[in-house]
Amino acid sequence: MSWLDEVRFDDNGLIPAIAQDVSSGRILMVAWMNRTALEKTVQEGVAVYWSRSRQALWHKGESSGHTQRVHDIRLDCDADVILLTVEQIGQIACHTGRESCFYQQLVATAQGHEWKAVDPVLKDPKEIYR
């Protein structure tokens, strides 16, 4: 049996993949992989994901230049989530120009709760995606 056969892809042939910064431990993003994306990630040593909206493979950073060099790949106990430990090239993982896609924090307000952007934009997305 191949190592790929041990991965439990969902009914659409996908598995969620968490990208974590190798230095800080911060979660940068969550994306999807299919069998080919996972195989290419292993072969190339850079993160390759599956775009559900475009229905196509995409190399992280192919248009922005903000690639992810993979240091480690782990599979969770249920074999249905991938964890990539990566070096984020250019310090920007999010399409909004931030370090992480997890830049919104739930904060208490007088009216209840609201989401607040707590991380700065490092680069204007208009400069990243032309």
* For residue 17, pLDDT beyond 80: yes
Q: How many angstroms separate the CA atoms of 15 and 122, rounded?
A: 29
Beta bridge partners of 20: 27, 85
Give me 91's structure tokens: 């310090």
Give the mean pLDDT of 34-45: 98
pLDDT, tens digit, 9 for 90 and up, residues 46-77: 999 999 999 999 999 888 889 999 999 999 99
Q: Domain spans of the chain? A: 3-91
Write down the pLDDT at residue 63. Answer: 85
DSSP state of 7: S
Tokens 């249905």 belong to: 80
**95-127: pLDDT as tens digits:** 999 999 999 999 999 999 999 999 999 999 988
Q: How far apart are CA 73 and CA 71, in angstroms?
A: 7
Provide CB contacts within 8 A for 123, sequence distance 6+.
92, 97
Please, which residues bridge with residue 74 across strands? 83
For domain 3-91, give the CATH number: 3.10.20.810
